Amino acid sequence: MALVKNNAMIDDPFVDVTGQETIPADGPVIVDLHQWQSHREQLTQRTDPVGVRLRSDQPPELIAGDLESLALVALEFPVFRDGRAYSYARLLRGQYRFDGEIRAVGDVLLEQLHFMERTGFDAFELQSDDPLGDLQVASADFDVWYQPAADGRLSAMQLRHQSD
């Protein structure tokens, strides 16, 4: 699976072990919520980074107290039409001030990339033959935005009144 981060293809340092019975002793891993909750103690002791993968029916509230121990939260799009993770990403960046990686996983497609980026995602497991090309297409669409989001871009309203 192609992983795109900071406008570049990268080799994923994490191993996704979600759903597996045993968790490897070292190396960066992504676990699911159940694994996290049952092995929290051991997992927080590790020196290598740990990420948690949330299903779209698992709001980040469930790991709100643990975010300091996490390097990454992966939010799942079971199908591109399921938009819950956009709100989860915004909560993670806004309310919970999470500054680790927020990774979009699952049914991640070109046409939704721009919204993902705006709501706080910074890494994408893209379903595509040309992920970088897709990213370029998606980010060339707009340079006016009507609302503030998690990406720090100024909204039209903010720009209109910047000099006030």
Q: What is the DSSP string of the chain?
A: -EEEETTEEE----EE-TT-SS--SSS-EEEEHHHHHHSHHHHHH-SS-EEEEE-TTS-GGGGGGGGGG-SEEEEEESSTT--HHHHHHHHHHTTT---SEEEEEES--HHHHHHHHHHT--EEEE-SS-HHHHHHHHHHS-S--SS--SS-PPPHHHHHTTT-
Please report whether residue 130 would count as binding other proteins according to CB under 8 A.
Answer: no
Please report whether residue 86 would count as binding other proteins according to CB under 8 A.
Answer: yes
40 versus 84: smaller Cβ distance to other proteins: 84
16 versus 82: smaller Cβ distance to other proteins: 82
48 versus 128: smaller Cβ distance to other proteins: 128
User: Quick one: which of 12, 90, 102 has its CA closest to 54?
Assistant: 102
Shortest distance (Å) from residue 116 CB to other proteins: 8
- 7-46 footprint of other proteins as x/- string (CB under 8 A): ----------------------------------------
Please report whether residue 142 would count as binding other proteins according to CB under 8 A.
Answer: yes
Please report whether residue 101 would count as binding other proteins according to CB under 8 A.
Answer: no
Please report whether residue 94 would count as binding other proteins according to CB under 8 A.
Answer: yes
Binding site for other proteins (CB under 8 A): 59, 80-84, 86-88, 90-91, 94-95, 109, 111-112, 114-116, 118-119, 137, 141-149, 155-161, 164
